[in-house]
Amino acid sequence: MRRKVIAGNWKMHFSPLETEKFLNELVPLLENKAGLDWIVFPPSVSLFKAKEKLNKSFIKFGAQNCHQEQKGAFTGEISALMLKELGCQYCLVGHSERRQYFNETSMACNLKIKALINQGITPIYCVGETLKEREEGKTEKVLKEQITSGLKDINLNDSLVVAYEPVWAIGTGVVATPQQVEEAHKLIRLCLADTVFNQKRAAEISILYGGSVKPENSQELSMLSQVDGFLVGGASMVAKSFAQIGQIPL
């Protein structure tokens, strides 16, 4: 049985003080919702505050990025080893904003994913096509490339979550249609079965949808057989909206 996950990517929002204030509001709202895996992704400077505030909560937290090396002369970077010590159980890898603004390739993501797995941190690997790629009929090719290179040499028992995030739907207010989501998730699962794992293991991997998810559209998308939860940006920074998005069938 696949785990249902509701993950909130705060991007470069919420300082430590703002994180404290936000979690004071969010934690009580999620009180009776322990059946899902709730994860928040604060910016790295706020991770320690999240650890402090979520100490006794079932809500987990993770980082938005990491470096592939454990330590060294990589100014400004943070390693998976450091994230582990901070209590991170998850880390986003390959978010489209990192691919777009920091030139992160699927091959670079592969190194980060392996570094995280070595530390026992679950990567949430983000994949998705741009509008141009979709319009040119390249969605399948792009997703396959991102999955095969990003997850190269990952072991059968390694912990992993995948997020399908069409770039054209992120932060735009344009949400993918249920048909587009179901097709892409099926394709990703097939690719996981054929090139990364096997059919049995691929069937166990949670695949989240991300891209302008809000309480108003999450219900319909959550009914899809291939959708195992959501990676939410904007709406995850409004406590009530985030909590409402989690009202999905288990």
Q: What residue ranges bind ligand PEP (CB under 6 A)? A: 9, 11, 95, 165, 170-171, 210-213, 231-235
Distance CA 108, CA 77 (A): 14
Nearest to 37 by CA among 53, 59, 62: 59
CB closer to ligand PEP out of 147 and 231: 231
CB closer to ligand PEP out of 121 and 163: 163
Q: Mention every residue, 6+ apart, whose C-beta is less than 8 A from residue 70.
A: 79, 80, 81, 115
Q: How far is the CB of 236 from ligand PEP (least distance, A)?
A: 7
What ranges in the chain are assigned the alpha helix state H? 16-29, 47-53, 80-86, 96-101, 106-118, 131-135, 139-150, 178-191, 199-202, 215-222, 239-245
Residue 140 annotated to the active site: no
Q: How far is the CB of 8 from ligand PEP (least distance, A)?
A: 9
End-to-end CA distance of the chain: 10
Q: How far is the CB of 105 from ligand PEP (least distance, A)?
A: 19
Q: Mention every residue, 6+ apart, whose C-beta is less than 8 A from residue 181.
A: 164, 209, 221, 224, 226, 227
Q: How far is the CB of 95 from ligand PEP (least distance, A)?
A: 6
Please tell me which residue in 97, 129, 133, 165 is annotated as part of the active site. Answer: 165
CB closer to ligand PEP out of 50 and 163: 163
CB closer to ligand PEP out of 147 and 235: 235
Taking residue 34's Cβ as centre, other Cβ atoms within 10 Å add up to 11
Residue 95 annotated to the active site: yes
Please tell me which residue in 67, 95, 97, 104 is annotated as part of the active site. Answer: 95
Q: How far is the CB of 98 from ligand PEP (least distance, A)?
A: 10
Distance CA 145, CA 141 (A): 6
CB closer to ligand PEP out of 198 and 247: 247
Positions marked catalytic: 95, 165
